[in-house]
Amino acid sequence: MSKKHYHVTNDFVDRESGDTIITGSIFEADTDREQALRAADVIGKEATEEEIAASKNAEE
């Protein structure tokens, strides 16, 4: 299953890792997770390659 990256629009606790994901970050999700996260209104539009790269650079 392919994964895509999405902009986080509301803070949430990731059910798989237990980590708090904050608004403004970029979160990777497969199709099933995307549907659940959209239903919970915590992710927005898909991130571009440039936005993903910038997010990874900011983490370092």
The more confident residue out of 38 and 59 is: 38
Cα gap 4→12, rounded to integer Å: 18
Residue 1 has pLDDT above 80, yes or no: no
The full length of the chain comes to 60
Element (H, E) at 37: helix 31-39
Tens digits of residue pLDDT in 21-51: 999 999 999 999 999 999 999 999 999 999 9
Q: How much is the average pLDDT of 7-27? A: 96
Residue 59, pLDDT score: 75
Straight-line distance from the first to the last Cα atom of the chain, in angstroms, rounded to the nearest whole number: 27
32, HSE (Cβ side, Cα atoms, 13 Å): 1
Cα gap 48→11, rounded to integer Å: 21
